[in-house]
Amino acid sequence: MTCTCFIIPDDVLKRFAADPDLSAELRQSFHHSVEISQKTRAVRDQNAALTLSTISLPFPIPPIPIPRPHRLPAGQVFDCHTGTTLPGTPVANPGTSADATIKRAYVEEESVAKFYWNVFKRDSIDGHHMTLISSVHYGVKYNNAFWNGTQMTYGDGDGQVFVDFTLGDDVIGHELTHGVTQHSLALNYSGEAGGLNESMSDVFGSMFRQWEKSQTVLTADWLIGADIMGPMSKQKGYTCLRNMANPKDTHALAPQPDHYYPGIGNLDPHYSSGVPNLAFTRAAKKIGGHSWEKAGHVWYKALTGFGPSPNMTMSQFAARTRSLATSMYPNDASIHTAVDSAWTSVGL
């Protein structure tokens, strides 16, 4: 299985492409979205392979000096004007653009950089002040958002099933976190590692959404993609793409398993990610407060503190977080208890 790194899994797109309740025009837009997604995978795989070969070299890469005082990395936004050539036309002064999508893409990518720096002291996606690039208005009614290994790309949605993908701050955090994973743990997009890959993006995407809204673990809804649901999706009873606190939620477009079993790695990563998602949610809720303060730091260290491990299994990742919960918080056994019980509750 190759890496898609799209927010919407292919089977959901295909489901709507065959939905008789949708107009022929809407069904065709979903067919096109599937085709584009499949073509983009090769580009993402090549970029990920190049990154892995670079960060796996036997000699260290000299660090790029972090500006003092720290400045956020540069951000650029391009307008595809409903075309599919990337990156598109550069936008001057995107932060003050009259186009709400352009402005939102710029503001939110900057906010993600601020989140990673303020919370984890990570300097941009690669940790080395990498410029953040976003392309908007990609394709005609394109129903997806993706990280292609070097940049973000957002579709406008069809306006009925999905709306403008820049409206989801967790979607933006999710996709940019694929870049963080690419430059750290370098998880493959197959087997259990694939589920972990998707889970890292959901976990940090949700944390970013909660951080922006100053939500606690109890006031957060733990939904992924709630803000990109269009009126037709809501009419059908869908509230989100995934529910981290209740992976089997039938109001989610893509319900997931909530308990580990041998062979879970054979699922599409968008589905197998439900198990580690639930483990993080339960750990964060038991610890209390803000998800990014303690549970988030354990997960971040597990993701970025040990170098590449492309084929890591879920049990290996669980063991790493258990160990880190103790070593990072030696004077607070409740952190380890929360992490340990969360993994145990999902079968790990």
Tell me which residues are annotated as active site: 175, 270
Supply 16's token pair: 């709507």
CA–CA gap between residue 109 and residue 66 (Å, rounded): 19
Alpha carbons within 13 angstroms on the beta-carbon side of residue 237 total 3
